[in-house]
Amino acid sequence: MKMHRYEEIWLALSFGILIIFMLVVGYQTFAMGMGPPSHKETIDPQKVDETAPFDNPGVFQTGDNEYEVVMTLQTFGFTPSNIEVPVGAEVTFTMTSKDVVHGFQVAGTNLNAMVMPGHIQKITQTFKEPGEYLVLCNEYCGIGHQMMSTTIFVK
């Protein structure tokens, strides 16, 4: 197949850009620990209330300046519904769904994860600015989907 010389240059540049893109994504994922939420633990979706740690949802201090938020999602709310964490602390959200597929998104941050029934999802964030962060469900989950939100108070 004969290609136009300019097309070869164009494709070489394009291919180069895609490879650089890949390298950046790989570096971010594996060297900088910025990979997407991919936790692999499973749970019986019909027994969430009886299974630790979801039998006791809430905010827990797990270390020096480290917190864990154990959270269940169900139509149409987040439990716990009011979350308070200090500025600059490393906060890990451990979540599962008690019914259908929900989304967990914190507006103005890169916190964004799917929460599936049967699967435990984890995502970590350090809030560097104080404020009232809006948490919302970004996957359609039923008639009250637009009301499914809560607030994280960072003080």
Partner 1 sequence: METVINKTNLKKTNKNKTMKEKAHQILGVVPEDAKLSKSYMAVAFIALLIGGFLGLFQGLERAGLLQLPSWFTYYQVLTAHGILLVLVLTAFFTIGYFYAGMSHTLGGLLPQVRKMAWIGFWMKIVGFVVAVIPVLMNEATVLYTFYPPMAASPFFYIGLALIVLGVWMCAFGAFINVAKWRKSNPGKHIPIFAFFATGVFVLLFFGSIGVTVEVVTLIFWSAGLLETINVMVSRTLFWAFGHTLVNIWYLTAVSAWYVIVPKIIGGRRFSDTLTRVVVILLVVTNIPGGFHHQIVDPGMSQVLKFLHVFMSLSIAFPSLMTAFALFYVFERTGRAKGGKGLLGWLKKLPWGDVRFLAPFIAMVAFIPAGAGGIAQTTNQLNQVVHNTLWVVGHFHLTVGTSVILTFFGITYWLIPYLSKRVLTPAMNKVGVIQTIIWTVGMLFMSGSMHYVGLLGSPRRTSYTTYGDHVVALGWDPYMFLLAIGGTLLIIGVLIQVYAVFHMMFLAPKGETEFPIAEPEEAEEKTPMWTDRWGLWIVIMLLVVSMGYVIPLVDLIVNAPPGSPPFRTW
Mask of contacts with partner 1, 40-79, x by CB under 8 A?
x-xxxxx----------------------------x----
CA distance 59 to 57: 7
Position among 37, 53, 80, 86 found at the interface with partner 1 (CB under 8 A): 37
With tokens 């995502």, the residue in question is: 123
Mask of contacts with partner 1, 1-30, x by CB under 8 A?
xxxx-xx--xx--xx--x--xx--xx-xxx
**Nearest distance, CB of residue 64 and partner 1, angstroms:** 27
DSSP conformation letters of 78-136: EES-EEEE-TT-EEEEEEEESSS-EEEEETTSS-EEEE-BTB-EEEEEE--S-EEEEEE
**Nearest distance, CB of residue 141 and partner 1, angstroms:** 6
> Token pair for residue 147?
């009301």
**Nearest distance, CB of residue 89 and partner 1, angstroms:** 21
CA distance 64 to 141: 36
The amino acid occupying position 141 is C
Which residues here bind partner 1, judged by CB under 8 A? 1-4, 6-7, 10-11, 14-15, 18, 21-22, 25-26, 28-30, 34-40, 42-46, 75, 99-101, 103, 105-108, 110, 112-121, 132, 134, 136-147, 149, 151
